[in-house]
Chain A
Amino acid sequence: MTEQTARDLLTYLVTTFLNNGFSDVGTFLLPEYGTQSQYEQVNNNYQYRDSSTALQELIANRGTRPKEALRRLVTAAQQYFNLAAAIPKAYAGAIAGFDSTARPRIDPTIRLLGRDQETVTNVSAVLENSQVRQMQRLLGILGERIGEEDDSFLNDLDDL
């Protein structure tokens, strides 16, 4: 991917995430503390960065290192969508341990009761739908091909 394309895509993706309710992707750009003890050693110095700020900072960095900034964005977005898509199976797996003693059996599908107290939405289906899989695939190709020197990766996106 050329630096010009990386710069262009970075600006576009950040703006689209921010303007369409996906600023949560920015959370996965924030420092992560892998263990509880590491986290507990962090002092609160009020240098908070929220999800949106973390995304906006990427645009600020696009001038000098656009490919590195795009790689960080794509990695964060992959984490967000991969984890979201994995929720239904993780829930079904966690609840399965209780099923042998359950009467009636536990429904492994996640459902959400609407504000009207009648509409029930299949959350599992929303998180596993084809658009999520397409997004994962698109981000996967971008992530793999950022390091290339040209824009030939665009040819591999034709069938998406």
Chain B
Amino acid sequence: MTVQTLKNKFNRLVRELNNNRRLDMGFSTVVEAGYEALVLAQVMKEYSRIYGPATKVAPPARRTFLNQKPGQFRTDKAFEVTFQKGRSFYFAADIELFGLYCTVDKRPHGMLFEADIVVIPVENLVEVLTTFRGYPAPQHLDAVYECKFGKYNKGQLRELLGLRRHLTALNGGDVATRHPDPAALHQFACKNARPSIPIKMVRPSLRKFFDEETANLYDLQQLALF
């Protein structure tokens, strides 16, 4: 083989990886989708650490929960899990969320922000599906996750800060070093956000993302999950 043959071989491989006939997306986007699925499963495991082992699990009736196009929450595209301590949650992916104003107005209003993974307590289901037409508002959320397998750019900090602003107000300004809290999701307690919704950035491995004070002030946490 010559160097040129090797280049041709590599070029062909790269094109074939992107040439998925059933998807109008490249390989890297498929990877991001797959990683979302893995993170959702890891989030369910984290909930079982806090709420005890799962006692009842209803998988998505459509056999999938990943959506190429984000949109409404639907029970047939979510896991419903009941844990030993009595709490039940829906775990869903690619959901559009209403913002903070809905906590005041108690009705669907304003723009929608997408989140990769959302966790919704089962007791909020009826209001989400009826009054809010499948688009959860902050008062319906238990936790929100953004997943990035490979993408890394400066805009991601702004993206996460934007999601925080969309979902919660800030109460006070505690930037003190967080000590691991075993009772909190991933041991990082929300101190300043109201409502107190954890927002996590998840990657296969940690990358320099934001400074400790910013993370503490906005209750943001970067996690390495795989």
Contact = CB atoms under 8 A, between A and B. Distances in A.
A140 B143 CA distance: 40
B59 A107 contact: yes
Determine the interface band of chain B, counting residues with CB < 8 A from chain A.
35 or more
A90 B226 contact: yes
A31 B79 CA distance: 35
A115 B68 contact: yes
A30 B207 contact: yes
Contacts of A119: 22
B2 interface: yes
Given A114-B68, A160-B9, A154 B1 contact: yes
Contact of B13 (A21, A87, A138, A158): A138
A113 to B, nearest CB: 5
B24 to A, nearest CB: 8
A153 to B, nearest CB: 9
B84 to A, nearest CB: 10
A94 B64 contact: no
B152 A30 contact: yes
B112 interface: no
B66 A110 contact: yes
Contacts, number: 204
B169 interface: no
A31 B152 CA distance: 12
Contacts of B161: none
B59 A106 contact: yes
Contact of B45 (A38, A94, A111, A151): A94
A60 interface: no
Interface stretch (B100-108, B131-139, B208-216): B208-216
Contacts of B15: 20
B57 A88 contact: no
B168 to A, nearest CB: 21
Contacts of A91: 34, 37-38, 41
A152 to B, nearest CB: 11
Interface in A43-65: 43-44, 48, 50-51
Given A50-B154, A127-B30, 18 more contacts: A9-B3, A28-B150, A30-B207, A31-B208, A34-B206, A39-B209, A40-B215, A41-B212, A50-B153, A101-B53, A103-B57, A110-B34, A112-B67, A115-B69, A121-B30, A124-B34, A126-B30, A158-B1
24 contacts: A16-B11, A24-B150, A31-B207, A32-B206, A32-B207, A38-B206, A39-B206, A42-B211, A43-B212, A44-B210, A48-B153, A90-B38, A91-B34, A94-B45, A102-B57, A104-B59, A110-B38, A111-B63, A121-B22, A127-B30, A127-B31, A154-B3, A154-B5, A157-B9
Interface of A: 5, 8-9, 12-13, 16-17, 20-22, 24-28, 30-36, 38-44, 48, 50-51, 80, 83-84, 86-88, 90-91, 94-95, 97-99, 101-107, 110-115, 117, 119-121, 123-124, 126-127, 131-132, 134-135, 138, 151, 154-155, 157-158, 160
Per CB-CB distance, the 4 closest pairs between chain A and chain B, nearest first, are: A24-B150, A44-B211, A94-B41, A111-B64
